Each structure stands twice: as structure tokens, then as C-alpha cells.
């Protein structure tokens, strides 16, 4: 059963101004669905191929064994119970994938509900290139030392910007029963334009249930803000960001003013930190009620 959401809280999640609460204008105005709840119309599955770490870095060879292996899977993307369910294909293959929008977007607000299994390593890519792997990622890293609603620079420096991390809490039967806070390195904190108190995510996140994420992205080099269940979590200003291998002009040229939105299934090969534990066999991440409000 979904938790009751008051009119004022729903308006906040949908970005409606306070004045709209007492008028006839619907808080849904300007929003449109990106997912019809029944099919993957408007989306396409693609392999998660290796990309250069940053613009100008050596490009992975399409003939390399790692690149060729990545081409073998587009992930398992199906609609189940009104939600997009993403997983490795076949389960336990340790191969990644993206589900990417056919359409591209510039400035927007995005709303979606997420319900990830433990342990999975997903993410929401914005301003993504056609291969899905270059752009700004909003973390849905639901595994050891993961975080949600923070940021990673996929193929634009591979920097991480976050102010907290988490690890699992176990019950008496050694089953994952919740999350507890872990610190994030200081060098990651400095990359954020703004962040909530690290405890805020743990206050609002509902373990094992559906949670609502809101992402706002505005600007040529975007200012990206995230909310979880109506609580503002973090903000990144890509126009002023200072990070290793992050060249603002090169990123602007690579990504352009518009890009795709993509959902990620991470690979979990032995060459990666955590290896197979990064995405456990048979685990999935679910997304539903995906809708967007263009702002440009």
C-alpha cells in the first residue's frame, strides 16, 4: 500500500508553487509521462560499453575483449506490476546495460519512484550521449558504500560528488534489514554546491519500499538538484565544479545542450571494485511513475 501523500506534499514533489495549492490549476500541469506503465515505448535497451574516462582520454578499442564482451547484453528490461524492472541478462552474467530515452532533453524536472533490491548498482543518467555512458549520473548505488541522490561524472572525469555513504544493517538471521551511515571522503564533499545534513537521507528513505526521487537540471552546464521523498538531498553546479579530469569546455562540447535520460544496470566484473557483489545474481532495480516537466 502506498503511503498517504497530502495535497501540499504532492504539490511540493511536483514542483508546484505554494500559491497553486489554493487555486484551480492542477499541480500536474506541465508534467508528462515518460513511461506508460505497460510498455517500453519511447525507450531502448543498449549495451553498457566502455567509454573514455574523460573527453580527450584514450578511447577503448571496439575490438578489445572487454568491449566485445559488453556488446553481448542489453540487460533484462521488462515491465512488471506497472514498473520498469532492470537487471543483468542473463541474471548473474555480470554484464551491464542502459535503458535510454529515444528523446533528448535540456532543462527539466524529472520525477520517478524507485525500489531497488539489495545489492544493485543502478543510476539515472542525464544529458547522456547516445551510448548512455557519458553524462551526469544521479546515484542509485544500492550496495556497500553506496549512496542515493548524489552524483558521478560518467565519462566526464569519473569523479564522485557525495556527502555520505551507507552500508547494510543485518538482522539476527544475517538478512539485510536496513542501512546505516558511513562517512564519505572529504575530497568528495567539496565537489558539491550544496548538501543536506548527512543524516537527512536516512531520515526519509524507506528501506524495502518505494521512494520518490525528484531531479532538477537547469543550465548549459547544468545545476542539478535532487530530492528524496520531498527532502532536498544535494546539488551540483557543473558550471563551477572543480574535479580531477573535469574540463568544463570539453564537457560542454561533448554533451551539448540536450541529452538522453538513461537508467543503468552496472556490470560487476572482477576488474571492478566489489566484483560480483556490486550486483548480486537475480537482483533488480524497479522504476515507475516516471514523468518529466521541460523547463526550456
- List the chain domain ranges: 25-294
- In the block, cell 524492472 appears at 85
Which pLDDT belongs to residue 10? Answer: 53
Which residues in the chain land under pLDDT 70?
1-27
Give the rounded percent of residues in the chain with a pLDDT score beyond 70: 91
Which pLDDT belongs to residue 24? Answer: 41
Which pLDDT belongs to residue 67? Answer: 97
- In the block, cell 566484473 appears at 269
Which pLDDT belongs to residue 15? Answer: 53
Task: Yes or no: say if 48 and 264 are a contact pair by the CB < 8 Å rule.
Answer: yes
Which pLDDT belongs to residue 17? Answer: 43
Task: Yes or no: say if 234 and 160 are a contact pair by the CB < 8 Å rule.
Answer: no
Class of domain 25-294: mainly beta
Task: Yes or no: say if 140 and 154 are a contact pair by the CB < 8 Å rule.
Answer: no
- What is the C-alpha to C-alpha distance for residues 266 and 269, in angstroms, rounded to an integer? 10
- What is the C-alpha to C-alpha distance for residues 30 and 26, in angstroms, rounded to an integer? 9
Which pLDDT belongs to residue 111? Answer: 98
Distances (CA, A) of 19 to 22, 27, 95: 6, 10, 48
Which pLDDT belongs to residue 4? Answer: 46
Amino acid at each position: 500500500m502506498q503511503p498517504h501523500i497530502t495535497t501540499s506534499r504532492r504539490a511540493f514533489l511536483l514542483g508546484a508553487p505554494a500559491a497553486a495549492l489554493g487555486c484551480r490549476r492542477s499541480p500536474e500541469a506541465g508534467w508528462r509521462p515518460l513511461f506508460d506503465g505497460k510498455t517500453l515505448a519511447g525507450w531502448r535497451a543498449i549495451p553498457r560499453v566502455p567509454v573514455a574516462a574523460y573527453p580527450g582520454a584514450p578511447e577503448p578499442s571496439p575490438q578489445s575483449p572487454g568491449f566485445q564482451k559488453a556488446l553481448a547484453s542489453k540487460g533484462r528490461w521488462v515491465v512488471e506490476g506497472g514498473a520498469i524492472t532492470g537487471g543483468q541478462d542473463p541474471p548473474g552474467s555480470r554484464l551491464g546495460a542502459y535503458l535510454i530515452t529515444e528523446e533528448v532533453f535540456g532543462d527539466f524536472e524529472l520525477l520517478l519512484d524507485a525500489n531497488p533490491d539489495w545489492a544493485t548498482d543502478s543510476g539515472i543518467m542525464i544529458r547522456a550521449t547516445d551510448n548512455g555512458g557519458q553524462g551526469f549520473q544521479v546515484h542509485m548505488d544500492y550496495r556497500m558504500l553506496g549512496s542515493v541522490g548524489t552524483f558521478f561524472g560518467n565519462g566526464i572525469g569519473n569523479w564522485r560528488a557525495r556527502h555520505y555513504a551507507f552500508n547494510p544493517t543485518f538482522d539476527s538471521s544475517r538478512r539485510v534489514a536496513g542501512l546505516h551511515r558511513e562517512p564519505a571522503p572529504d575530497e568528495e564533499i567539496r565537489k558539491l554546491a550544496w548538501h543536506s545534513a548527512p543524516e537527512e537521507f536516512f531520515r526519509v528513505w524507506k528501506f524495502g519500499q518505494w521512494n520518490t526521487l525528484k531531479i532538477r537540471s537547469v543550465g548549459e552546464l547544468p545545476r542539478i538538484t535532487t530530492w528524496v521523498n520531498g527532502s532536498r538531498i544535494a546539488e551540483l553546479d557543473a558550471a563551477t565544479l572543480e574535479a580531477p579530469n573535469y574540463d568544463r569546455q570539453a564537457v560542454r562540447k561533448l554533451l551539448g545542450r540536450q541529452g538522453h535520460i538513461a537508467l543503468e544496470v552496472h556490470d560487476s566484473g572482477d576488474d571492478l571494485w566489489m566484483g560480483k557483489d556490486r550486483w548480486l545474481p537475480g537482483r533488480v532495480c524497479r522504476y515507475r511513475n516516471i514523468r518529466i516537466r521541460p523547463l526550456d
